Chain A
Amino acid sequence: MTAKKMAIIATKGTLDWAYPPLILSSTAAALGYEVQVFCTFYGLQLLRKDLSGIRISPLGNPAMPMPMPMPVLVQALPGVEAMATAMMKKKMKSKGVASVEELRSLCLEAEVKFIACQMTVDLFDFQRSDFIDGIDYGGAATFLGFAGEADIQLYI
C-alpha cells in the first residue's frame, strides 16, 4: 500500500499558529503519512534554529482569555507580549502540551519534510544559516508537485 500524503502550507509565525502544522505533521507521520510542510512568509519562523521569537500577542486577539480585563492600549505596552507568551508557555507545560521545539524535533525525527520558500527567505534577508539543517528550499512549483498528489492539502 502506498503511503498517504499530506501537504501543508504554513504561513504564520505566532505561537498559537505554530501548533496546528506541527501537531498535524507529527501525528500524520506517526500514522504513516508522508508529509511536506511548505513554510512561507511568517511560517519561516518554524524553521529558525532559535524558536524563541515565536510569541503570542493579545493585541488584536479578543478571543484570548486574559487573567484580568486588559484594555487594548495596555496590551500594546512594551512587555505585555513577552508576559503573555511566558504565561501561555507555562500553562501549556502544566497541561502536558508539547513545546514547539519538541514537536518540531518529533517531526524531523519522523522525516517530515520542511521546505523553506526561497522567495520569502530572500525577501526577509534570511541566511540559510538562520535555519535548521535538513530542510529543502524551493518555490510554488516544488510545493504543487507534492501537493497535487497528496490526499490532504492544508493552508494554515
Chain B
Amino acid sequence: MNFDKDLDARGLNCPLPIIKTKKALNDMASGQVLRVVSTDSGSVKDMEAFAKQTGNSLLSSAQDGGGYVFFLQKK
C-alpha cells in the first residue's frame, strides 16, 4: 500500500505509539496515508479505538515479522 508518511514506533510501549500517531497525523493533509510500525501488541486494539474515536480511517492492520503494521488515512 502506498503511504505519504512513515512512523517507526517500534520499541515504544503504551501509550506512546498512539500519541506519536496522533502527532504524525497533525502534520498531514486530509486524505493522506500514514504507515505506523509498532512492536506493542496492545497497539492493535488501541489503534482501532483511536481510529474510531478520532474519525481517521484504519485502512489496514496486520502482523508482520518485525511487528504490527497499520495504515491510517487522515480524515
Contacts and interface: CB of A to CB of B under 8 A. Distances in A.
Contact of A31 (B14, B39, B50): B50
Nearest to B46: A27
Given A27-B19, A30-B18, A106-B19, A96 B40 contact: yes
Contact of B54 (A32, A96, A97): A32
A51 interface: no
B54 A23 contact: no
Given A31-B50, A31-B53, A96-B11, A26 B19 contact: yes
Interface residues of A, number: 12
Which DSSP category, helix, strand, loop or mixed, fits chain A's interface?
Answer: loop
Interface in A92-119: 95-98, 106, 110
A27 B13 contact: no
Contacts of A23: 14-15
A96 B39 CA distance: 10
Given A27-B18, A97-B14, 11 more contacts: A23-B14, A27-B15, A30-B21, A30-B22, A31-B49, A32-B54, A95-B13, A96-B40, A98-B16, A106-B19, A110-B19
